[in-house]
Chain A
Amino acid sequence: DSGVTQTPKHLITATGQRVTLRCSPRSGDLSVYWYQQSLDQGLQFLIQYYNGEERAKGNILERFSAQQFPDLHSELNLSSLELGDSALYFCASSVDRDPQYFGPGTRLLVL
């Protein structure tokens, strides 16, 4: 157990819908990262927040957004969902530029 928690574990929804994934980092970690893992693309970095501020952006679609709250938990919002958005979404956390520790992931299935 890495100490990073993510909810929900599984999510099934329809195309066009919007979902919110939630992440609580390890105690003391200020950075939160979001990743998408699909079979063909592997693990892809989406976005990083550090102490409430966006720090780095990767291959995140405009339909996706994230934020980090004052208590350091983070949410990833996915809207106008498409079939291709079906994937495992991981959150990771670190103190700063340290090893990232990954949560158990949320498996999203868009039908």
Chain B
Amino acid sequence: EDKVVQSPLSLVVHEGDTVTLNCSYEVTNFRSLLWYKQEKKAPTFLFMLTSSGIEKKSGRLSSILDKKELFSILNITATQTGDSAIYLCAVEGNTPLVFGKGTRLSVIA
């Protein structure tokens, strides 16, 4: 059965800190790994990763995939209170998307 495990489950940091969120997976016929940010309602798309070792970057957020070790990390530098959210990792294999439980990030001023 496809599985996605995220760690930590929750994290509290101060503004300006750098955080690393982890995602490990087991999936049949891996196609891609995606990161989403969920604030009040709908998950919003952040990154889609298909190749190992290629960093994707958007502003203060970046992510990289290791297909040999079956994990990905999401980095957020210089955190702001607006980064407070649940960050979801999902993998696409035979099932369109299998989600992890998420990491709840709280950034305090």
Contacts and interface: CB of A to CB of B under 8 A. Distances in A.
Interface of A: 2, 33, 35, 42-45, 48, 56, 58, 88, 90, 97-105
A91 to B, nearest CB: 10
Interface string B70-109: 0000000000000000001010101111111110000000
Contacts of B41: 88, 104-105
Contact of B96 (A33, A101, A105): A33
Interface extent on B, as a size class? 20 to 34
13 contacts: A2-B42, A2-B45, A35-B97, A42-B101, A43-B43, A43-B99, A90-B43, A99-B34, A100-B97, A102-B42, A102-B43, A102-B45, A103-B42
A11 to B, nearest CB: 15
B60 interface: no
Contacts, number: 52
B44 A102 contact: yes
B19 interface: no
Contacts of B100: 42
A9 to B, nearest CB: 9
A100 B31 contact: no
Contacts of A101: 45
Instruction: Please name the 5 residue pairs, one residue from A and one from B, whose CB atoms are nearest each other, closest first.
Output: A43-B99, A102-B42, A99-B45, A99-B48, A42-B101
Nearest to B4: A42
Nearest to A33: B96
Contacts of B102: 42
Contact of A42 (B45, B94, B99): B99
A58 to B, nearest CB: 6
A54 B32 CA distance: 21
Given A97-B31, A101-B45, A103-B42, A56 B95 contact: yes
